[in-house]
Structure formats: C-alpha cells, structure tokens
Amino acid sequence: MSHFRAAPYVKALFEVAGSGNAADQMTDSLDRVAETLRLVPELQRTMVSPLVPPELKDKILDQVLDALEIDGPVRRFVHVVQGHFRLQHMNDIATAFHSMVDRSLGRVHARIEVASVLDETGRRALLEALEKVLATDVVADFIETPELLGGFRLQVGSKLFDGSLAGQLKQLGRGAL
C-alpha cells in the first residue's frame, strides 16, 4: 500500500497563492471541497471509480465546483488533483495547505480545553494573553471538557500546558507518593 504525500501538491498551490489574503481564501475553498467529499461519500466513490469515464468525472466535478462557487486557481488545482487520481486525499491536502499558510503568516493553532464554556470576553482575554506569551497570532479551538473541574488545558503543536484543577490534583497525588 502506498503512502500519499500531499507536499508536492501543497507546494505547487502555495506557489500560485503566495502568502497573505489570497492564500487564506484558498484554504477556505479547499476546505469546502474536502468537506463536500467527506459529507457525500457517493461523490468520492464516483470520482475514484475506474468505471466512470474521465469526461463524465470532469463534468461532475465542474458541477460540484460551480455549486461551491470555486473558481480560479483552486478550481484548476482540484482538476489537476482529480487528473492525478488523488481527489480522495483532498482532506490531507487541505490540512497540509493550512499548515503551510499558517507557517508563512507566523500563525499557530492552539487547542484550549476549558472546564466550562467561556463567554466571548473570556475567550478574547485568554487568546490575547496567549498571543502575548507566544509572540505570534493564534487560532484557537475552544473545547468544553467538564472533567478538568476548573482552569484550562492548552496544546500548541506538541507542547501541552495543564493549568486545570484536575491536573493540579493529579500532580499533588504524585507528590504525595
């Protein structure tokens, strides 16, 4: 079984996009295509089937891209990916493209688990403090995890900071042994 490598596709699209706003817009378009393929498995099966003629696949893909309002370089890119029989890897491609765009813009993604839902003011304050500490823009996913009891747990890349009450209790338990 071969292992798909998204990097060549991602690098090619990134060269076309450059950095900045155009690249961000392209990530949104790629996400919509990947999400559609994920939500409509019949579409993906049709696009990878050797029984469906390539001309029909192109027509179907054009209809999907029209419905998603995808045009320009992303539209051409999706057709190239389909032409190389790699459309089933669109989610991997979109994820890798996100990472490349984020790196180029000096952005990091953070997963922030909180014990209870934070209001918008609390989220903004936590995000601003995090951006100040990391000295970079942060895109955060806030996740409610009641098991934390209080506080929060933060993951940025491979680094994990546990400022939760549950984490502190666990540390106390280790220290008592």
Q: Cβ distance 112 to 145 under 8 Å?
A: no
Mean pLDDT of the chain: 89
Mean pLDDT of 47-65: 95
83-103 pLDDT, tens digit per residue, is 998 999 999 999 999 888 888
Q: How many CA atoms lie within 13 A of 11 on its CB side?
A: 4
The domains located in the chain, with CATH, are 7-103 (1.10.520), 107-176 (3.40.30)
Per-residue model confidence (pLDDT) at position 65: 97
pLDDT for residue 40 is more than 90? yes
E strands of the chain, at which residues?
A: 107-114, 137-144, 152-156, 159-162
Distance CA 82, CA 75 (A): 11
pLDDT for residue 4 is more than 80? no
Residue carrying structure tokens 């027509």: 59
Nearest C-alpha neighbor of 22 from the set 88, 132, 105: 105
Per-residue model confidence (pLDDT) at position 82: 95
Q: Please tell me the least confidently modeled range out of 18-22, 47-51, 100-104.
A: 18-22
pLDDT for residue 2 is more than 60? no
pLDDT for residue 74 is more than 80? yes
Q: Cβ distance 152 to 115 under 8 Å?
A: yes
CA dihedral (75, 80, 82, 87) in degrees, to 10, reads -80
- How many helices and strands (H and E) does the chain possess? 8, 4
